[in-house]
Amino acid sequence: MIYLETPKKFRGLVDQARQVAQEIFRPNSRRYDLAEHEYPKELDMLGALLDGMNASGVGGAGAAGVRRDRDQGDGNRNGGNLSTALGTMELCWGDVGFLLSMPRQGLGNAAIASVASEEQLARFADSWAAMAITEPHCGSDSAAIRTTARLDGDHYVLNGDKIFVTAGDRAELVVVWATLDRNAGRAAIKSFVVEKGTPGFDLVRLEHKLGIRASDTAQFALRDCRVPKENLLGDPTVNVEKGFAGVMQTFDNTRPLVAAMAVGLARACLEETQRLLKNAGVVVDYDRPAIVQSAAAAELLKLEADYEAAWLLTLQAAWMADNRKPNSLQASQAKAKAGRACVDIALKCVELCGSLGYGESELLEKWARDAKILDIFEGTQQIQLLIIARRLLGKSSAELK
């Protein structure tokens, strides 16, 4: 059974994450929004702090991936997935771009944690890993990947192009998705850890973006890039029966994390809007029906209900991962709901606050820009709804497109 209070053993971690958001992320948020591509040096200290927390077994405050526990006893377990989600919510209350820029806390780390062998986990333990999936000709359809990986002796030779790689320039490793055989379909898609500086792996450009400007977003070209075969994550065989399940397991871990980012940002918007409305004389009365209150108060109550739904779905997906329950459906539900709710809440909060919401004197306009990416990366809203429909109807990807 899932309990909705923050577990006692995670309260210290959540408090620490909240302090980081209040003292470091939020005060510097506007600065690095205006100075796009400038690395937030304040995060180096946090990276060292998180390394110490992970070494002591505390961990969980950043965006790094967590591994599903293999030895599971009876009863309820609150583990790394839930603690990471709770910490992520707090940090994204401060700034989403900062979270995505934290050293050794990249989405590629979640991919490694999900499917790497014990030897690979040890080898890449202290590295910062980005994740490269999207290509110029295929957006949300990961199965349409054209980047190829050909085995040549003790190396795989990778060729292709990758775009929209979060923290791609700053990370030390990039987890690249490529296909071993284009004719074999989804089953041939594998993930490879490519180290920065590898010949044939070149940075093409950094993107200028609508939001999360504190985080860099890169494009890479792979031209006869030779990667040791030991850097392939998971099973190297092409198993048509298993299909896409191996690499897609990554999303079961990362989608609840992105949902947690959206939940944290949505809460920031709601709290700031409530403060600004209160200063303007609009007070929400939680003991009275919305219909007898002002239009602004009624709208805020509606937005808060949307936020609560996203929060609950996110906790459910993370808790299921900790308790070794299949959570592909719940991960997509959490990502779909939280991503859409975050965008709707941010835009409506800007509207409710009028000129204060639209101007740079407050952070609401920045949060509205940051929110959109949370409805896009790790699978767009439309892709999540398609996955949910397939799961609920028992349809394959070939049957329901």
- Gap between the Cα atoms of 238 and 247, Å rounded: 12
- Gap between the Cα atoms of 124 and 117, Å rounded: 11
- Is the CB of residue 110 less than 8 Å from the CB of residue 254? yes
Q: Dihedral, CA atoms, 72, 108, 381, 337, nearest 10 degrees?
A: 40
Closest CA to 105 of 173, 13, 152: 173
- Gap between the Cα atoms of 48 and 88, Å rounded: 17
DSSP state of 275: H
What is the crossing angle of helices 295-322 and 80-94, to 10°?
A: 150
- Gap between the Cα atoms of 151 and 137, Å rounded: 24
Catalytic site residue from 90, 230, 378, 399:
378
Closest CA to 140 of 307, 381, 361: 381
Give me the residues paired with residue 178 across strands. Answer: 190
Q: How far is CA 260 from CA 82, 93, 165, 188, 233, in A?
A: 10, 10, 20, 31, 26
Closest CA to 65 of 114, 6, 121: 114
Instruction: Let me know if 195 is a catalytic residue.
Output: no
- Is the CB of residue 275 less than 8 Å from the CB of residue 220? no
Closest CA to 15 of 81, 60, 48, 68: 60
Q: How far is CA 112 from CA 104, 118, 136, 246, 341, in A?
A: 12, 10, 24, 12, 29
Closest CA to 147 of 222, 236, 219, 230: 222
**Pairing of β 129-132 and β 173-179:** parallel
Give me the residues paired with residue 156 across strands. Answer: 151, 227
The catalytic residue positions are 378
